[in-house]
Structure 1
């Protein structure tokens, strides 16, 4: 069994597509596996803001 989740910025310049099981949003989300309990895998689609708010994080 697998699950899909979306991590998207709030109040961005666009509305992000978070209803699909596929990464179809215009921002080009990165898909990464997340291992859950009992070996289950969830796929996380991590969206990128178009206003650039994450630039500078981790510096």
Structure 2
């Protein structure tokens, strides 16, 4: 189950200050075939998420 893992990682980033709701900063996380892009956009409390399947790399 990738989604709960991604949310746990985001929570840790928010509580540690790595992801700050007052300053725009994008982070990209990967877990079990999913990619999550998160950004606060400096919105003072909101976190905007895009979650999608991780594209396979062509060899």
TM-score (norm 1): 0.29
Greater length-normalized contact order (CA 8 Å, ≥ 6 residues apart): 1
